[in-house]
Structures are given as structure tokens and as C-alpha cells.
Amino acid sequence: MADTSTQSIIIGAAPDRVAAVICDFARYPEWTEAVRRAEVIEEYEDGYASQVRFTIDAGVMADEYVLAYEYAEDLSRVEWHLVAPSKMQKAQRGSYDLVGNPDGGTTVTYTLEVDLSVGMLGMFRRKAEKMIMDTALKQLKRRVEAAGAAQ
């Protein structure tokens, strides 16, 4: 299995607003550059997605895969894993941890572990993971804060 990478960002919105954006998978293509399509294929009884099919195109990496999701009752943690190997990935595990801050914002910690099907030197893999995580967190921040400004 690949090494685990972790990054955090502070978003100027309450945890429930951040969680709402994270859990709205169908809208990912609107704000996540690499996601071309996100389709909820199974839901839990409460309406949250249990499995989502993603089609991504990040230039050098294009893939289609299904992730299975689990949620903390208060949505302070959203975690996922790859259901079955894809063209580019043998395994993927990840999570978002949301912690409310005294100023009303949220610290979001993104943890990701990907085992690629294609060979990649360790230093290039780490650089790619950092770029993917950094981009994902910045896009999440932009989406949540823009939605808050529109309210």
C-alpha cells in the first residue's frame, strides 16, 4: 500500500456547510477541475451516498472508479475506499475530518492513500499526491466560501 499523505486548510464557514459541499457528489464537476462526472449509484436510508462512480481526467491521469463512503453521525468525518481496482488504481483510502474553530470557521484535514496500478517513482508520486490534495482543498475552500457569500 502507498504512503498516507495528509494536508489541512481553514475554511471560513461552519462545519455543516463544509460537509454539505463534500457530500453533494453530483455537483463535484461544477467545482472540481479533474472530475468530469460523479454519479451516486447507491444511497443509505438517510439519503447520503454510500457508493459514487467518478470519471476523472487530470491530464496525465484519466480514470473511472467507484468509491464507498461512510460518515460520522455528526458529519465531522467523511471517509471512503475504492470498491474495486480501476485502470489506474489498485487501492484508495481517504477521509475528510472537519473541526469547528472558535471563529466560526472549519479546519479541514484531508488524508489520502492511493496505490497506483502504474509504476511511479516515489518522489514523483509524493509530488503528485501533494498537488492533488492541495488543489482539492483549495477548490473545496473556494466552493464553500463562494456559496456562503451568495447566501
The pLDDT tens digits for 94-148 are: 999 999 999 999 999 999 988 877 665 555 556 666 667 788 899 999 999 997 6
Choose between 25 and 88: higher pLDDT.
25
pLDDT at 150: 55
Rounded mean pLDDT of 30-54?
96
Q: Does position 43 have pLDDT exceeding 60, yes or no? A: yes
Contacts of 107 (CB under 8 A, 6+ apart): 8, 9, 10, 11, 98, 99, 101
pLDDT at 134: 81
Rounded mean pLDDT of 45-71?
92
- Rounded distance between C-alpha atoms, residue 93 and residue 21, angstroms: 20
Instruction: Tell me how far the alpha carbon of residue 26 is from its chain's centroid.
Output: 13
pLDDT at 88: 85
Q: Does position 92 have pLDDT exceeding 70, yes or no? A: yes
Neighbours of 150 (CB within 10 A): 6
Contacts of 58 (CB under 8 A, 6+ apart): 33, 34, 132
What's the whole-number average pLDDT of the chain?
89
- DSSP-derived secondary structure letter, 2: P
Choose between 1 and 69: higher pLDDT.
69
Element holding 148 (H helix, E strand): helix 122-150
Rounded mean pLDDT of 88-98?
93
Q: Does position 58 have pLDDT exceeding 60, yes or no? A: yes
pLDDT at 2: 60
Q: Would you tell me the crossing angle of helices 122-150 and 15-23 to the nearest 10 degrees?
A: 110
Handedness of CA 131, 116, 70, 58 (dihedral sign): positive
In the chain, how many H helices and how many E strands? 3, 7
Q: Does position 63 have pLDDT exceeding 80, yes or no? A: yes
